Structure 1
Amino acid sequence: MERQAPRKYLVVEPGADGAVSVTEMKRWCRQNPDRRPPNTDPDRGNSQKLARAFGYAGWSVELTATEVRISPSKEAAVQAAAVLDAESEPLEDEGESSEETAFALERQLQDFMVSNLRAIPVNGKRLRLHVDETSDGVEYPTSSNRRIDILARDEDDNFIVFELKRGQAPDSAIGQLLNYMGWVKLNLAKDKQVTGVIVARDISERMREAIVMTTNITLFEYQLRFELSAISQATATA
């Protein structure tokens, strides 16, 4: 099967004269440091996380067959699409690419965790998002320009660091999580405890063995469930 070319990440802004400005996302961030999402660095991290940061900052992020288009608002995205797609022939829907599916699954997992955080006890205690002047607890930035997927607090104000993996959690996830936990301990927690949580589709036996040596990392597996509902055929209207 022919490998699909990676999507281009573009910042698309309509102008007052009806023209459309199209700039490669990371180049745009370098050119507009005062407008890019806070606590982001275009020269560090991958394009997916940077695009997600735009979405959290209120920008519109739209996927096409070949591009990820980022616009200041939904209205701007519609206006830009009308110009960019005016001369394009319609494309048949061949299904989502692996990149698009992965991007969507990771975002959906994060959204689910945030929406149901109070129903996910850790160490027997209910959680809430850690909110401060830096972030609302989602994609919390660290000093190394890396982002904690979810940063929460429990009933005793102890910190909970979540690392989310859409598939099988690699062994390196523990090292990554410990790095985040150390940063939180040094910069936020002070005398409070810090617990790490890895949430993945599949947790390996090696990872289960690794956490035997630590008491402050918890593992969760998630499951996807699908329900099918029969839909009747259309009937003639009177």
Structure 2
Amino acid sequence: MTQDSRHDAALRRLSAILARRGQDRSLDGMIAAQKDVRARFAPIFAPEALSELTADQMRAFLSYRNNRHWKGLDRLGPSITRDMDALRQALRELLDESRPIAERLDALLPRGRARVRRLGKAVLTPILLIVYPDRYGVWNAVVESAMQTLGIWPEFERGLSVGRKYERLNSLMLRIVSDLAIDLWTLDGLWWRVETVATGENEEAGTDDELSVDEAPADDAADEDRACVFGLERYLHEFLLDNWDATPLGAEWELLEEEGDVNGYGSERPTPVGRIDLLARHRREPRLLVVELKRNQASDRTVGQILRYMGWVRENLATDGEAVEGLVIAHEGDDRLRYALSGVPDVRFMRYEVEFRLREV
């Protein structure tokens, strides 16, 4: 199939999804939210207003409840807003239209690493879309997955910079919106729907603090201590993501990043067999680590789940000679988990503890 024929086939797929928008409540809501989202955040991110940008405003934008398009960014908030002066300067450079976009992104993502911690392309390009809605599309893991599914993901030359890659991707997205007579915000919603269908995920867009599909909160019979633990455990993923280097795991492993992004790569990576909670590479040895988080109790079902993810990583990401290992992290595990793990040497289990104290002052 030629490049043009793949492009035409992708247009037909996207057109079919768009035609069903009226019956797709989640997609319709995402697309319809554009006016409200831009009305709230475009003035905040306007170049002339950046000197007044606050950490609360930035974190509000990163919340799916407010941006209505991009899940999981809220977990990056503490890192991104840690140095507000550096963040404001980075956004001034990002939005400076006197410079080519490739040059701006390369300055903010030198050698593919975020100059401001966690401020990668998955945060930078949505801000571009908010401020310049007719010029720039979004580039994140969802977009990559959707374009790969449709067969239109470009083959980049080895060593091509982040900015040059985005320049090419953005040209392709501008061509698509022109062909479909839609805007870039709508296209971003279509990418999301393509990706959710391809990965078999829940139809609903979800919220920032949704649970894994095979987890459920404690039932009515659970005691109050267990319910309290569960409430705290909801933030396990966020805690590990923001404090990875300070944990025992961080000494040996680093979360995968691509173009400054951990979201969708080393964190909540979408795959056709499910979403991987955390994915890390050993700092010295050729080893990859798949991490499955269970906020409550893990059982033998978890072993099948993580083996599925490990198989996908081994086949699609691992290089020759690179081993793939698994790690289950949960508050507790049952006997079925223990026996199941005894037969799988490449998967281990770690138990975490939550401590909460009140002190007189």
For residues 15 and 127 of structure 1, the distance between their equivalents in structure 2, rounded to whole angstroms, comes to 37
SS in 2 for 1:194: strand
Identity score, percent: 30
What is the CA distance between 1:230 and its match in structure 2?
A: 2.9
Partner residue in 2 for 1:95: none
* Structure 2 gap segments, 5+ residues each: 1-24, 41-67, 70-184, 211-226
Matched, 1:14 2:14: no
What's the CA shift string for 1:30-64, capped at 9, x where partnerless? Answer: x945236757416932378843499xxxxxxxxxx
Partner residue in 2 for 1:166: 295
For residues 200 and 190 of structure 1, the distance between their equivalents in structure 2, rounded to whole angstroms, comes to 29
For residues 103 and 36 of structure 1, the distance between their equivalents in structure 2, rounded to whole angstroms, comes to 34
For residues 32 and 105 of structure 1, the distance between their equivalents in structure 2, rounded to whole angstroms, comes to 35
For residues 210 and 142 of structure 1, the distance between their equivalents in structure 2, rounded to whole angstroms, comes to 24
Which residue of 268, 273, 279 maps to 1:139? 268
Matched, 1:200 2:330: yes
Cα gap change, 1:199 to 1:161, in 2 (>3 Å): same
For residues 32 and 120 of structure 1, the distance between their equivalents in structure 2, rounded to whole angstroms, comes to 40
What's the CA shift string for 1:140-184, capped at 9, x where partnerless? Answer: 11134x210001111214110010011001321110100000000
1:196 maps to amino acid: G
What's the CA shift string for 1:188-207, capped at 9, x where partnerless? Answer: 01320111011111111221
Q: Kindly indicate whether the alpha-carbon contact (under 8 Å) linking 2:299 and 2:336 is maintained by their aligned counterparts in 1.
A: no
Which residue of 270, 281, 285 maps to 1:153? 281
Name the structure with the higher strand share. Answer: 1
1:34 maps to amino acid: D
Partner residue in 1 for 2:341: 211
- Say what the alpha-carbon RMSD is for the aligned residues: 4.0
What is the CA distance between 1:110 and its match in structure 2?
A: 0.5
Q: Kindly indicate whether the alpha-carbon contact (under 8 Å) linking 1:125 and 1:154 is maintained by their aligned counterparts in 2.
A: no
Cα gap change, 1:199 to 1:48, in 2 (>3 Å): farther
Which residue of 171, 176, 183 maps to 2:312? 183
SS in 2 for 1:139: strand
Partner residue in 1 for 2:196: 41
Name the structure with the higher helix share. Answer: 2
SS in 2 for 1:189: coil
SS in 1 for 2:289: strand
What is the CA distance between 1:104 and its match in structure 2?
A: 7.0
SS in 2 for 1:164: strand
Matched, 1:130 2:256: yes
What is the CA distance between 1:111 and its match in structure 2?
A: 1.5
Q: Kindly indicate whether the alpha-carbon contact (under 8 Å) linking 1:120 and 1:126 is maintained by their aligned counterparts in 2.
A: no
What's the CA shift string for 1:198-231, capped at 9, x where partnerless? Answer: 1111111221111111211010111111110336
Q: Kindly indicate whether the alpha-carbon contact (under 8 Å) linking 1:160 and 1:195 is maintained by their aligned counterparts in 2.
A: yes
For residues 299 and 290 of structure 2, the distance between their equivalents in structure 1, rounded to whole angstroms, comes to 17
SS in 1 for 2:328: strand
For residues 204 and 294 of structure 2, the distance between their equivalents in structure 1, rounded to whole angstroms, comes to 14
Q: Kindly indicate whether the alpha-carbon contact (under 8 Å) linking 2:267 and 2:277 is maintained by their aligned counterparts in 1.
A: yes
Matched, 1:116 2:243: yes
For residues 223 and 183 of structure 1, the distance between their equivalents in structure 2, rounded to whole angstroms, comes to 30
SS in 2 for 1:14: helix
SS in 1 for 2:326: strand
1:153 maps to amino acid: R
Q: Kindly indicate whether the alpha-carbon contact (under 8 Å) linking 1:169 and 1:204 is maintained by their aligned counterparts in 2.
A: yes
Partner residue in 2 for 1:79: none
TM-score where L is the length of structure 2: 0.39
TM-score where L is the length of structure 1: 0.56
For residues 51 and 37 of structure 1, the distance between their equivalents in structure 2, rounded to whole angstroms, comes to 18
* Structure 1 gap segments, 5+ residues each: 1-7, 19-24, 55-97, 232-238
Q: Kindly indicate whether the alpha-carbon contact (under 8 Å) linking 1:141 and 1:147 is maintained by their aligned counterparts in 2.
A: yes
